[in-house]
Structure 1
Amino acid sequence: MTDPGSSSSSEPSPQAPARRGRRKTKAERRRERRTMIIVGSVMAVIVLVAIVGGIAFTYWEQRRNSVDPTTVTLSITDSKGKSITADPYQACALGSTDCTEKSMTKISLPKDGKATIDVPSTVSDTQWSLLTIYEDNAKNDESVYKAKDKKSVTIDGSKDGSRLKVAEVHAVLLGDKSHGSDSSDDEDAYTMVWAISPE
């Protein structure tokens, strides 16, 4: 006989509340914050040192390879296959009217002939241009080349019957006219022109 006071199904006993993790003290939180600040500061210093080091190396590399721009020459192969060295026709420090100027380079180039201009890496590693001037100014032309894009160009003795008067190579070079001496450690930018004209 069933006891009326007893329940037919046993009810589950309530579970004990889950134990929460120990809360961090203020001192521990301050220590963690301090550690994060120190790590962040160290990382920032490392990045800054890397940037400064990269800039310093680039400057050193440029200084090591610095040249006197007035000594940079082009190599010309004329219509007869003869190799000729072309010195700069003009060198002007940017912002200065004090320019070094020499005579044009004369080459053998008949009206129906061709000549090749080879520029050194000092020039081809920067943007440079070729300006061709003819007796008929309407035929004048200018080609601009990106850095490392071209090291050699061919010029014609005439264009559509108009005789070539002069071909000019233009570039802006970083350099030091006192390179090799102790008189100056400063580099300047120079606008350079090499001028080639048929004999």
Structure 2
Amino acid sequence: MATRKQARKQTLVQVLALLIAVVVIVVAVVLFQSWSNNRPGAHPKDIRVTATVGDESIEVAPYLVCEPGTECPEGEVPNLYVGENDTLKLDIPDDISRYQWQVLSIYDDPAANDETRHGAGETEAVEIPGSVDPIEASDSQDRPKLIVVEVSAVLIGADDNGDEAPYSSVWSLSTMSDEELAEQENM
């Protein structure tokens, strides 16, 4: 049977072990949070927006990425058909949604074009209708059909010297049918 002195010593060792474990856990959490908050994000050219219509989904790479005031080489514009009664869903990754960003919806009737702005951290997904009700100011009574969607933001990336720099970034997506695309190319 342990004496009272031995029991106190054992309790003291247990309390010290518990205190050391708590200190180690707190230090690990603080170091992880510091690392997580200070690690560099993806370069804007590597960020992808996910576009979905029904069961079909594609990753959209940036169409334009450049430092403000520099010439911007154009990239490819992918196509994902969006029918009149379909809805296009755009999933915006955290590397974009944590900043201010906007979506420009371009329809075949310019009066129906729309731009929505989103504040930092407000939303990570948007839905855009494949067609909208005719605009009163328009000459046409047909439902304007979605033809292009653009997501744009000014993001931070590393320049050629490894320093942080702002980048104007645009992700562009065509939503036309194959026939409409062929007609556009023949113009």
Indicate whether the TM-score tops 0.5.
yes
- Trace 1:21-170 onto structure 2 (pairs within 5 A): 61-62=37-38, 64-78=39-53, 80-96=54-70, 98-160=71-133, 161-170=143-152
Give the TM-score, by structure 1 length.
0.62
Gapped regions of structure 1 (runs ≥ 5): 1-57, 179-183
Gapped regions of structure 2 (runs ≥ 5): 1-33, 134-142, 177-187
Letter in 1 for 2:67: A
Distance in 2, matches of 1:115 and 1:194, equals: 14
SS at structure 2 position matched to 1:107: coil
Distance in 2, matches of 1:177 and 1:71, equals: 14
Residues 155-199 of structure 1 show CA distances to partners (whole Å, capped at 9, x for unaligned) of 111112001121110111000255xxxxx2212111111111113
| Equivalent pair of 2:149/2:175 in contact (CA under 8 Å) | no
Residues 46-87 of structure 1 show CA distances to partners (whole Å, capped at 9, x for unaligned) of xxxxxxxxxxxx9x955x223221111001112x31121000
| Equivalent pair of 2:82/2:146 in contact (CA under 8 Å) | no
> Greater Rg, structure 1 or structure 2?
1
SS at structure 2 position matched to 1:70: helix
Letter in 2 for 1:165: I
Number of residues of Structure 1 aligned to a counterpart in Structure 2: 135
Give the TM-score, by structure 2 length.
0.66
Distance in 1, matches of 2:83 and 2:150, equals: 18
RMSD over equivalenced CA pairs, Å: 2.2
